[in-house]
Amino acid sequence: MDSEARLAGLMRAAQGGDGAAYAALLRESVTLIRAVAAGMGVPPAAIDDVIQDVLLTLHRARHTYDPRRSFTPWLRTIAQRRAIDALRGAGRVRGREVHAPESYESHPDPAPSAGHEAERAQEAGRLRSVVAGLPGGQRQAVELLALQELTLDEAAAATGRSKIALKVNLHRALKALRQKLGGDA
């Protein structure tokens, strides 16, 4: 019995509810599907995906097969269409994504290291001591406006001082902090 007659017979039996025939049909169809996909230029790494997609399509569309017609051309058409879908998908991915593993080598790990956390704690302590050394009005302006992130209206209401006085104190405090912490004045 030739391959076409065997596959057509398995498909007819599968349509009749024979589970063993259906399993054999799926197994024996893989060779044809693989050949069609490879012949259409599907990359070897994607051929198994095409096979799976064709088998799923075969499962969903098995009721549409006409037993009076040849099975192999029907399956080949499904395989060709799924291979084209795979090639289109690969083209879209290639157009948007770049495979550049070396780019990961030049970027540091975003997770903070123990040394980094210690540095940050040391810098925060130094900043707290420098802020504590500012005159009272400047220290209060930095604490309310910069650290607590209050608005000028809220800070003025909390201190009873004018918004202009708070702005002047904040400006002077920031200038003093830049000088003490080594930034430009």
**The predicted structure's pLDDT at residue 123:** 84
Q: What fold does the segment set 130-181 form as a domain?
A: Arc Repressor Mutant, subunit A (1.10.10)
Q: Tell me which architecture the domain covering 3-96 has in CATH.
A: Orthogonal Bundle (1.10)
Q: Residue 145 and residue 36: Cα distance in Å, rounded?
A: 70
Comparison of pLDDT for 80 and 118, the residue scoring more: 80
Start-end of CATH 1.10.1740.10 domains in the chain: 3-96
Residue 80 reports pLDDT greater than 80: yes
Residue 184 reports pLDDT greater than 80: no
Start-end of CATH 1.10.10.10 domains in the chain: 130-181
| CB-based burial, 115-131: b 16+ in 10 Å, e otherwise | eeeeeeeeeeeeeeebb
Rounded mean pLDDT of 150-170?
90
Instruction: Name the band, by pLDDT with cuts 50, 70 and 90, for residue 88.
Output: confident
**The predicted structure's pLDDT at residue 1:** 60
Q: Write the CB contacts of 47 (distance below 8 Å, at least 6 apart in sequence).
A: 34, 37, 38
The number of beta carbons lying within 10 Å of the beta carbon of residue 78 is 19
Q: What is the pTM of this model?
A: 0.49
**The predicted structure's pLDDT at residue 62:** 86
15, 62 contact by CB (below 8 A): yes
**The predicted structure's pLDDT at residue 121:** 83
Residues of the chain above pLDDT 70, percent: 85
Q: What pLDDT digit, counting tens, does each position of 40-57 carry?
A: 888 888 899 999 999 999
Angle, vertex CA 166, rays to CA 179 and CA 156, nearest 5:
150
Q: What pLDDT digit, counting tens, does each position of 91-136 carry?
A: 666 666 666 677 666 666 667 667 777 888 888 888 888 888 889 8
